[in-house]
Amino acid sequence: MAASSNPATSAGLNAEALSSRLQQLAQQAAIQQWDLGASCSTDTSVQVDRGEAKQMKGAQRSAITVRVWNSDGLVGITSTSDLSDEGLVRALAGARDASAFGNADETPAFSPLATAPLASLEQPHHEPQPILTLLETLKQAERQLLDRHAAIGTVPYNGLAQRSSERLYLNSEGACRHQSLTTASLYLYARAEEAGRKPRSSGAVRLAYGTTNLDIEGCIDEAAQRTIAHLDYAPIETGHYTCVFSPEAFLDLIGAFSSLFNARAVLDGVSLSQRDSLGQTLAVPFLSIRDNGLHPGNVGASVFDGEGTPTAPLDLVDGGVLRHFLHSEATARAFGVPPTGHAGMGAKVSVGADWLEIGATPGSGGGQQGLNRLGHDGAVVVIDSLSALHAGVKASQGSFSLPFDGWLVQGGNSRSIEAATVAGDIRTVLQAIVGFEGDAKVTPDGLCPYVWVEGLSITGEA
């Protein structure tokens, strides 16, 4: 068992008291403008290997950032894990000294929405379970998964974890944001092998607000079904196919090209979008992509971003047209719009999506109706999961070439594909969507149905 402790997390965070102390300490140091962002958590996790404990961990972590603006408007930044008066004094002084070297071309300011009302979310808090209880629960889950099929010999990647976390944002103009949350996660990734055949693997993930609410049976069922479905595999001929992306795979693909919607990437010249791209057609006229971090399915949702801006739904693509970019305070100021609640915190503030909803634009018809991969006349490739997203995607060029796990479906029969790569251009993909199959599914990364795309290049194993 591994463990660590940190004074910043051991007693929790009192946002109002910390804000008052910081204000006093800043005044004593003649600092007029400052802000602080903090994220603290207590984590417990276990892993097992064939009925035995593989790893048991407990840790307290913190990430605390202090920024100070000098009289020239330049920003200095420092990190600390010490929230005592002495630690805060050192952090303020370090950020003040660093501001002399601030980048005049990157001058973030306070978000004008840092004191705006926040949304109210139903996020029930759960008491943490003893680590030995987690271990026994995971052992049972592993055993049940191993018993599902004789070919499933191991569950090499697995984990059951729980977390209690707090986030806050404070600034010298009175912003005082605080959120506490409990979450739990389970993942099971099985490995199956039959005599004379290659090993096949697949898995499943479940999230909840507490370990007692995790859908353990559902996770076992999904991991078993997906793994067993890959046992009967065969090569696929290289060619162009109509592809059906699983919700998880399509969300991963869109996430890999999220710079399309990222104002920071646009300003830095590393996005396919330009400043004048808003209002232009990006996809088929029935596609909608919304960033909605407040969706009830988003376990672990944050009600404010790294600058204190409230989280809110934002339509990125509506009716196939690019409608909005994701913004921080600085990018919003450059575009002359309000910040959208998607900022990190730093001297140069990052921007990122929260939780995507993908589907049909209301009233658009949603493309072809009644799509059913098992009832389709021709051959379709079902792409279940994508791999090597970090290496196979060139986001600034739009191209991708990614290994995938999936099935070739012909005449109602489904057979796993031995090994193959899907390649294309994201702009072509968005214009080649045929329609959607089934209801949208809640996943850890967003909400999405099965997505049909025609004419993608599939390269089989030589």
Whether 1 has a pLDDT exceeding 70, the answer reads: no
Q: What is the pLDDT of residues 323-337, one digit of tens each?
A: 999 999 999 999 999
Q: What is the pLDDT of residues 430-450, one digit of tens each?
A: 999 999 999 999 999 999 999
Q: What is the pLDDT of residues 163-204, one digit of tens each?
A: 999 999 999 999 999 999 999 999 999 999 999 999 999 999
Question: Which has more confidence, 336 or 82?
Answer: 336
| CATH class of the domain whose range is 2-223 | alpha beta
Q: What is the mean pLDDT of residues 267-288?
A: 97
Domain-by-domain residue ranges, the chain?
2-223, 232-462
β-pair type (152-171, 176-192): antiparallel
So what's the pLDDT on residue 17?
Answer: 94
Percentage with pLDDT > 90 across the chain: 91
So what's the pLDDT on residue 12?
Answer: 62
So what's the pLDDT on residue 376?
Answer: 86
Q: What is the mean pLDDT of residues 281-289?
A: 98
In terms of pTM, does the model score above 0.75? yes
Q: What is the pLDDT of residues 37-72, one digit of tens each?
A: 999 999 999 999 999 999 999 999 988 999 999 999
Whether 3 has a pLDDT exceeding 60, the answer reads: no
Matching residue, tokens 């993930």 = 205
β-pair type (233-234, 413-417): parallel
